Amino acid sequence: MTPASPQRRAAAALVVVGLLTPLTACGGDTDDTSTGLTVLAASSLTDVFKEAGAAYEKEHPGTKVTFSFAGSQELAAQVEQGAPADVLVTADTKTMDGLRSDTGTPTVIARNRLVIATGKGNPEKIESLGDLADTRLKVVLAAPEVPVGRYSEQILDAQKITVKPVSQEPNVRAVLSKVELGEADAGLVYKTDVSAAAGKVGSVDIPDEQNAVASYPAATLKAGEHGAAAEAFVTWLSSPEARTILTGAGFQQP
């Protein structure tokens, strides 16, 4: 075989460098000795977990926490399909219980309640759950397979209130977004969601006797690659520091 010319060897080297460069860039500035922890978390935890993750990384400099937020039912599907992750936090115990063979023992880290989200300033003058039955209103709910959708269905059924939503969304943040953008007059979301959107939407409290309590269990995933780090993070979520962050965002203690 004829030896490759110097020019061809140089071109081949450039191709190899070109292929390797994107892979190097994907790693960013992450230290090779650090632990990359992937956490699948319910959409309603988006804002507070970003703060919690930063606090955890500061306290544990050898760990980098990456979050993936979605509706709990979507997260469950990801786990069942083998998505690489270390920790799961859902917005209900039902979803977590359905994944017993995939998780460690779950721990409830926080609770939440529902409120009625309205347009900024509540232009439709909504005062109670019963007002959502008004067919002139555009009401949006989460789909029934989503935890907040189940809670919504539960409290409406208990009060014998029939609501015909203009849409059923895949997660609570999508419901909130519809109201915030003016595409809906009202929607049922968690109290913490309207707190996170302060100034952009209005809210109407639902009396405790008509409300539902959402529980947030956290558990390690058996298929995760960082078992010890995952266990440490789940334990930390019940620590005084984590509870201060959660309650500061409007979540209730477990």
At residue 21, does pLDDT exceed 50? no
pLDDT at 33: 58
Contacts by 241-245, CB closer than 8 A, 24 or more apart: 241/55, 241/59, 242/52, 242/55, 242/56, 242/109, 243/110, 245/48, 245/51, 245/52, 245/55
Mean pLDDT, rounded, for 48-55: 97
Q: Are residues 116 and 188 in the same domain?
A: yes
Q: Does the predicted TM-score (pTM) go above 0.75?
A: yes
Q: Are residues 118 and 209 in the same domain?
A: yes
Is residue 28 included in any domain, yes or no?
no
Neighbours of 98 (CB within 10 A): 17
Q: Phi first, then psi: what are they for 8, rounded to 5°?
A: -70, -40
End-to-end C-alpha distance for the chain, whole angstroms: 73
Neighbours of 134 (CB within 10 A): 13
What CATH number did the domain enclosing 133 receive? 3.40.190.10
Q: Are residues 48 and 62 in the same domain?
A: yes
d(CA 116, CA 124): 12
pLDDT at 129: 98
Q: Are residues 68 and 188 in the same domain?
A: no
Mean pLDDT, rounded, for 107-111: 98
d(CA 226, CA 215): 25
Q: Are residues 96 and 157 in the same domain?
A: no
CA distances from 20 to 27, 30, 34 (A): 12, 17, 21
Is residue 13 included in any domain, yes or no?
no
Which tokens is 238 given? 């019940």
Sign of CA dihedral 164, 70, 196, 254: positive
pLDDT at 9: 39
**Residue 230 DSSP SS3:** helix
- Provide the pLDDT confidence category of residue 43 given band limits of 50, 70 and 90: very high
Is residue 16 included in any domain, yes or no?
no
Is residue 179 included in any domain, yes or no?
yes
At residue 31, does pLDDT exceed 80? no
Q: Are residues 160 and 219 in the same domain?
A: no
Nearby residues of 50 by Cβ (< 8 Å), 6 or more positions away: 67
Mean pLDDT, rounded, for 83-104: 97
Q: Are residues 136 and 219 in the same domain?
A: no
CA distances from 37 to 49, 230, 253 (A): 13, 7, 25
| 8 A C-beta contact, residue 44 and residue 91 | yes
Mean pLDDT of the chain: 89
Q: What is the total count of domains within the chain?
A: 2
Q: Report the run of H or E that residue 248 belongs to, with start and end.
A: helix 240-248
Q: Are residues 61 and 130 in the same domain?
A: no
Q: Which domain holds residue 227?
A: 35-111+215-248
Q: Phi first, then psi: what are they for 6, rounded to 5°?
A: -55, -35
pLDDT above 70: percentage of residues in the chain: 87
Q: Report the run of H or E that residue 114 belongs to, with start and end.
A: strand 107-119
Is residue 135 included in any domain, yes or no?
yes
The predicted-structure confidence for 119-159, as pLDDT tens digits, reads as follows: 999 999 999 999 999 999 999 999 999 999 999 999 999 99
The predicted-structure confidence for 190-243, as pLDDT tens digits, reads as follows: 999 999 998 899 999 999 999 999 999 999 999 999 999 999 999 999 999 999
Q: Are residues 118 and 159 in the same domain?
A: yes
pLDDT above 90: percentage of residues in the chain: 85
Is residue 6 included in any domain, yes or no?
no
pLDDT at 4: 43
At residue 247, does pLDDT exceed 80? yes
pLDDT at 29: 41
Per 3-state DSSP, what percentage of the chain is helix, strand, and coil (rounded to 5)? 40, 25, 35
pLDDT at 35: 87
Q: Are residues 186 and 224 in the same domain?
A: no
Q: Are residues 49 and 140 in the same domain?
A: no
Closest CA to 217 of 170, 145, 147: 147
At residue 254, does pLDDT exceed 80? yes
